[in-house]
Homo-oligomer: A and B are copies of this chain.
């Protein structure tokens, strides 16, 4: 291991691993104090000036590299975005500690008392794009759950991230856990690949970003990865649905923020309700500027709609485009979801209890809703208090992940001398 970059990555992974033993034992109030002190530090005027100056360096380099306006916007910090970081730190401090909870305890016939108790995962690596707000956000959630964190943000944000991790680490040092937040301080793409090989020291990798980033991480990691590639979310409007409610939910799911993963991408409409539902739906979508791509039955009722191709039903448009299909019943809707869906989020609109329960039972996407917008598929909206990411694979966590997805459970056993016969 003579490569200095590799030595550097291994070294910071080991330091995080060692620190994780200390963070695992920190009492709740010590962790909350750390988060509050980081918030205080970020609220300090001189600190803010330094941070904005570092961010300016990133922005200027980004402009020189002709980054798109959207990327520059995500990269930019300002007073109000710093205030959001501060607010979010205080919110995380106020959340219940997920560590040390004995969820169950039972007694065996031989008198052994067996329980399951939550403990931190250990060391969590976050690989993300040039969004400095993720730095503070991801660290604060991992830390609250007793973990050490290794951050690898987009190279374009390196100056900002250095400054932020400096602020975090100064507070951590005061509490004797100075190594609990490590920054991969490199713009070499190889650094990510090296990080993903440190399975001896890192317990989990969470990639946050576009599908390309996530695929790169998933394909190169020797460490478990929690991820979702895309959200091809469906709403099924049942034959008995309240048309007004269905229109309202569909419009919210499609239009309120089309570029996010819990936005609606394909609408499935029961044949019985199609003649009543589709015409007002078509008018509403036209008013909202949504392009409709439908099957032949849809187009027989909405002559202005484009024909939907097979690819349209697989597509995550992330745009004001909606695929529509008329189906004959719940089973056909579920079949469609299983074939084209991404296991992210699906909803049904119905007033029929039996149908609602059947949809909830049979659809095994990570979030399944009755009579509510797919846009609620979000850690905050579901009441998790926070969101570190979302998983569409079923191992460890499924759906939006809050603090409780950043811990695991060990077995604890109280005996009084028992041996095995």
Chain A residues in the interface with B (C-beta under 8 A): 21, 24-25, 100, 106, 108, 112, 114, 117, 119-122, 203-204, 219, 222, 224, 242, 245, 248-249, 251-253, 256, 338, 356, 360-362, 364-373, 375-377, 381-383, 393-400, 408-420
CB contacts (< 8 Å) of A400 on chain B: these are 411
Bound Cα distance A61, B348 (Å)? 57
Number of copies: 2
Expressed in whole angstroms, the minimum distance between the Cβ of A113 and any Cβ of chain B is: 9
Bound Cα distance A398, B242 (Å)? 46
Expressed in whole angstroms, the minimum distance between the Cβ of A121 and any Cβ of chain B is: 5
Bound Cα distance A164, B253 (Å)? 50
B394 near A398: Cβ-Cβ < 8 Å: no
Expressed in whole angstroms, the minimum distance between the Cβ of A285 and any Cβ of chain B is: 16
B410 near A366: Cβ-Cβ < 8 Å: yes
Asked, given contacts A121-B394, A364-B24, A376-B420, whether A370 binds B413 with beta carbons under 8 Å apart, the answer is yes
Expressed in whole angstroms, the minimum distance between the Cβ of A226 and any Cβ of chain B is: 8
Q: Which DSSP category, helix, strand, loop or mixed, fits chain A's interface?
A: mixed
A369 near B415: Cβ-Cβ < 8 Å: yes
CB contacts (< 8 Å) of A396 on chain B: these are 395-396, 408
CB contacts (< 8 Å) of A122 on chain B: these are 394
B21 near A413: Cβ-Cβ < 8 Å: no
A368 near B413: Cβ-Cβ < 8 Å: yes
Asked, given contacts A203-B393, A382-B108, A395-B224, whether A415 binds B371 with beta carbons under 8 Å apart, the answer is yes
B414 near A371: Cβ-Cβ < 8 Å: yes
A367 near B408: Cβ-Cβ < 8 Å: no
Asked, given contacts A108-B383, A114-B383, A395-B204, whether A369 binds B338 with beta carbons under 8 Å apart, the answer is no
Bound Cα distance A383, B114 (Å)? 8
Asked, given contacts A395-B224, A396-B395, A396-B396, whether A372 binds B415 with beta carbons under 8 Å apart, the answer is yes
Name the residue on B nearest A414 (C-beta): B370
Partner of A365, one of B252, B371, B410: B410
A121 near B395: Cβ-Cβ < 8 Å: yes
From A365, A369, A375, A397, name the one whose CB has the most chain B CB atoms within 10 angstroms.
A369
B394 near A411: Cβ-Cβ < 8 Å: no
Bound Cα distance A112, B384 (Å)? 13
CB contacts (< 8 Å) of A249 on chain B: these are 417, 419
CB contacts (< 8 Å) of A242 on chain B: these are 417
Bound Cα distance A302, B399 (Å)? 57
Sample 11 A-B pairs with CB under 8 A, ordered by A number: A112-B372, A119-B394, A224-B393, A224-B395, A253-B419, A360-B412, A369-B412, A369-B413, A375-B420, A399-B410, A399-B411
